[in-house]
Amino acid sequence: MASDVAVAMAGPDAFSEKKLDDTKNDVEPFGTGFQPATPSYTPADELEITSEDINYHTLTWWQAGVVLIAETVSLGILSLPAVVANLGLAPGIVIMVLMGVLATYSGLVMGEFRKRHPWVQSFGDAGEAMGRSIGMGKVFQEVFGWAQTLFQIFVMGSHLLTWTICLNTLSSSAACTIVWGVVGLAVFWVLNTPRTLRAAGYYSFASFASIFSAVMITMIDVGIEKPIGTTSLEVSRTIGFTSAFLSVTNIAVAFSGHSCFFSVMSELKQPNDWPKALMLLQLSDTVLYIVVSVVIYVYVGPDVPSPALSAAGSVVVRKVIWGIAMPTIIIAGVIYGHVAAKYIFVRVFAGTKHVAKRTTRGFIGWLGVTAAIWIVAWVIAQSIPVFSNLLGLVCALFASWFSYGIPGALWLWMYYGEWFASRKRIMQFLANALLVLVGLVLCALGLWSSGEAIAQDAGRQPWSCASNAA
């Protein structure tokens, strides 16, 4: 069923591509004796799909890399200058590089896993493959699939929160923040009413161009308005554990594009090109993160706000920057909303004509699902009104596992029984055990730090009309 969901995300006709004989490519994990992982889904002919010749393998490695950059480099980058200001230059840069390296390795592990199981297109599929070996395939499928959907809804909440900051800044706080949230809820929901998301690659590129332009203008503005030497800079700082670890989770969430990795892999012309696409992503986002966060911190100093777009000195320039950033706030949020809604919709209508055909019941069901998830996202945004706190909670709950813990577990499952077969395997075992440990630590300590920060932050009250414009 998870396979149905993943294919449906590409559009209703995608069911026609996935055939039962795909299972011939599946491979058992080495040395385990586990049963081959095979997909469970309704055959295409039972859904009466007639478009049999659609080619979904259209991405070159560099096109896939651009899509990944657009999906990953979004709101996460806006918290990084404040992270460097909080941790200090040296720890901030070192942790960014370290998390980037770990995220790169976990992405390579995911590529290796999908090479062994070509039918996998989501973490739900991966969970089913791994859980089936111990008779818990359906349980793992449900847990992984719904966790991925919840992660996307929390990200939608962060986009709604950023929308309210944007509207308050552009309007000089002309209305209640809750009102702006309701307006955003309506806008995002209306844009999510189409059942398909055509030209998503172009939307994603526009999203990246938007946020890239906004942060570049911010850097230029702070470089002009706040010359070096007017603020105090610290190579490292001594701060409380809660504040420090919340900064670490903000860095981790900036590298949390892994929830869409399997989907992108499935559309590559040459599956073996995945490492090149991944390296394009990780080199680009790591360099961009370091340059943007260091430059803005150096010029603004320890009081750099989060999100960083509000660091511009002039009110007029600040409004221009937020106006330029609006496309990424909307587009990236709508894409996450579409993917989350499609997963839920297909689970509700699995095996029926409403998934692939335009029916009245299907249309009403789609409107209901999209409205429901955006209402949940709006409640999240209103309940956690501090941007960095919300990102920290998202990382602790989800990014910790999708970007680090689960990929490590996938490798341990693939090579169960061969962990210590050679020096290379031992090194790989240690690396992937480290991924699982990092995921566990980020989740446990991240939840504690985020909870402490949310409880202690008295600057902005939840469900308040007070302006959140920086």
State the pLDDT at residue 4: 38
Closest-CA residue to 308 (of 390, 380, 211): 211
pLDDT (tens digit per residue) in 233-261: 777 777 788 888 888 988 988 898 888 88
Q: Which fold has domain 2-456?
A: Amino acid/polyamine transporter I (1.20.1740)
Q: In angstroms, rounded to a whole number, what is the distance separating the alpha carbons of residues 230 and 223?
A: 11
- Compute the average pLDDT of residues 160-184: 93
End-to-end CA distance of the chain: 45
On the question of pLDDT at 231 being above 70, the answer is no
Q: In angstroms, rounded to a whole number, what is the distance separating the alpha carbons of residues 92 and 207?
A: 26
pLDDT (tens digit per residue) in 424-450: 999 999 999 999 999 999 999 888 888
State the pLDDT at residue 366: 93
On the question of pLDDT at 46 being above 70, the answer is no
State the pLDDT at residue 47: 38
pLDDT band of 340, cuts 50, 70, 90: confident
State the pLDDT at residue 339: 79
Q: How many helices (H) and strands (E) does the chain have?
A: 17, 0
Ranges 230-239, 308-317, 369-378, 393-402, most confident = 369-378
**Domain chopping of the chain, boundaries:** 2-456
On the question of pLDDT at 18 being above 70, the answer is no
On the question of pLDDT at 48 being above 60, the answer is no
Burial 13-24 (b: 16+ CB within 10 A, else e): bbbbbbeeebee
